[in-house]
A and B are shown apart, each in its own frame.
Chain A
Amino acid sequence: MQHRWTMKRLINIQPSPLARIILAALPFIITLLLYLWISDMRLSSNPNDKLMPAFSSFATAISELAFTPSKRTGEYLFWIDTVSSLQRLLLGVSISALIGLIVGLLNGAIPLLRANLSPYITVLSLIPPMAILPILFIIFGLEELSKVILIVIGITPFIIRDLQGKTLELPSEQLIKAQTLGASTWQILLRVILPQMVPRLIEAIRLSLGPAWLFLISAEAIAAQSGLGYRIFLVRRYLSMDVILPYVVWITLLAFILDWLLRKLSQRVFPWFHDPR
């Protein structure tokens, strides 16, 4: 039987470009409106309510932290916090990426090394990093080093295992072809495997950024003199939601920007990896 008009199946309906933007923005707008509405209700019944401050309170609190020198030290705390946190994060992630790339690639490419190291790394990756944070504080002190090392311990095993797997997934035809072109093991690592692993490393880093932030904020919450996580846990004592919420939004924004930058970088430098094949 022929229908004159039939609705397409749901899985076949694609949003138009405009609809896509509106649909994407909708949850954000709803969240915002919901907050404003409830906050307004609470503040009208109790003007001293601290749980859901008005947007004007956010502006005051952040302008005080970001654009007014601190009375005690003369520093702009918001920016000091941001720089300290980003420094720790980027240092930790960079060290992890470097170790992860080298060990993961060698593990994937060289069976002897894989037999030697792979089980060990699997066991190491199962240690909960937060459980050994006290050990790190004891060994490396309460300064920067232990925070960076927590990030490194937290995400390096994942990057190693991911890249080891990705190296093993390379078609064996490629490695055989390289050998028939006269390549040594070293040359295969350098010219065939490494360049194909770098975009995959960027993917692994993007996936690790979430855990990296988690470890950073946790370490800062426990012992630090500055940092985004430190500030949030410090002002928690005064129930300063006017500081905590903007800081959370700021951290989210930073995480988003880092992810976006990595994605764009990868697309620009490795077109062969991202184009449809």
Chain B
Amino acid sequence: MSFIEINNVCKHYDKTVVLERVNAKVEHGEFITLVGASGCGKTTFLKMLLGTEVPSRGSITLHNRPIAQEPGPDRGIVFQRYSVFPHLTALQNLILAHEFKHARLIGKLFGQKRNEAIAQAYTMLTSVGLEHADDRYPHQLSGGMQQRLAIAQAFMQQPEVLLLDEPFGALDPGIRGDMHQLVLDIWGKTAINIFMITHDLKEGFYLGTRLWVFDKIRHDPQAPHAYGATITYDIPLGHTDRSTYKTIHRALQRNKPVATRNSQ
């Protein structure tokens, strides 16, 4: 069995079908980027992995067990915004996961245990280049710094799966490059599974080991919500030819369905 198996997953709200017949197998350590037009269901898919949405039909298994229907420490998340806690300094944000784990009752560590957590947090702060901002509150950090902190915070917990919901969508293009390097570095060191939604197809091609395109195969002009999206392209990255990129790019631009093709 694969690490994550997605079997015939379908999601609809009343009569609006968002996703239909999504099937995929994911192995340990894969870095999957998810692209697709707005409203194509890629965020809904990520939420089902996160546990805040439940498939209407089908199943998602992690380690052969159905994925928990609420968020948990095995799946980390970085959102586009609001990912760090505004009332805690950068350092406090990072040691929070340890405090949740080791102080079940009061959620706060003291003395030796706190010092150990702080030592680990500094290592992580240094690896994301925030060691000098340890005592600053999130509102005192730039958007890029906040996202670096959010990524560091998610990694402190050592999740098995990391979900990134357009984490760099609000950042300047110049900062994005640094962020890509940061994510690749940490991913290389920990070899966890990453699912990352992006609007930027280039980013999708550049990062990751595998690209999923979400799109609708079937269209009914009389009932636009009758059919949902599915994974139309599932491409291993690193040896992709230029024409594939152009085909997908055109498809996303026109927001028209592209034929299903599984190149694996």
Contacts and interface: CB of A to CB of B under 8 A. Distances in A.
- Do A and B share a complex? yes
Interface of A: 171, 173-174, 176-184, 186-187, 190-192, 195-196, 270-273, 275-277
Contact of A176 (B52, B84, B105, B150): B52
Across the A-B interface, the 7 shortest Cβ-Cβ residue pairs: A182-B73, A179-B71, A173-B82, A171-B82, A187-B107, A277-B139, A181-B97
B97 A182 contact: yes
B100 A190 contact: no
A277 B87 CA distance: 12
Nearest to B81: A173
B86 A196 contact: yes
Contacts of B75: 180
Q: Report the interface size class on chain B.
A: 35 or more
B232 interface: no
Nearest to B80: A173
B83 A180 contact: no
Nearest to B76: A180
Contact of B77 (A177, A190, A277): A177
B72 A180 contact: yes
A183 B100 contact: yes
Contacts of A275: 137, 139-140
B104 A184 contact: yes
A57 to B, nearest CB: 52
Contact of B87 (A173, A183, A186, A273): A273
B83 A177 contact: yes
Nearest to B73: A182
A180 B159 contact: yes
Contacts of B87: 195-196, 270, 272-273
14 contacts: A173-B82, A174-B82, A176-B50, A177-B84, A178-B85, A179-B70, A180-B50, A181-B100, A182-B101, A183-B107, A187-B104, A191-B99, A196-B86, A272-B139
Interface centre among A174, A182, A187, A277, by most chain B C-beta atoms within 10 angstroms, is A182
A174 B107 contact: no
Nearest to B162: A180
Contacts of B83: 173, 177
Contacts of B96: 178, 181, 191
B10 interface: no
Where chain A touches its partner, the secondary structure class is helix
Interface string B91-112: 0000011011100111110000
A183 B106 CA distance: 11
B198 interface: no
B33 interface: no
A275 B139 CA distance: 8
A270 B87 CA distance: 8
Interface string B60-83: 000000000011110111010111
A86 B70 CA distance: 48
Contacts of A180: 50, 71-73, 75-77, 154, 157, 159
Contacts of A192: 85
B152 to A, nearest CB: 12
B147 interface: no
A275 B137 CA distance: 10
B108 A191 contact: yes
Interface in B23-37: none
Contacts of B82: 171, 173-174, 177
Given A171-B82, A177-B153, 6 more contacts: A171-B81, A180-B76, A180-B159, A183-B100, A187-B100, A275-B140
Interface centre among A177, A271, A276, by most chain B C-beta atoms within 10 angstroms, is A177
B51 to A, nearest CB: 8
Contacts of B105: 186
Contact of A182 (B108, B139, B150, B157): B157
A259 B81 CA distance: 34
Given A180-B71, A182-B101, A272 B137 contact: yes
B90 to A, nearest CB: 12
Contacts of A181: 73, 76, 96-97, 100, 153, 156-157
Contacts of A270: 87
B104 A179 contact: no
Nearest to A179: B71
Contacts of A171: 81-82
Nearest to A183: B100
A171 B81 CA distance: 9
Nearest to A275: B139
A153 to B, nearest CB: 31
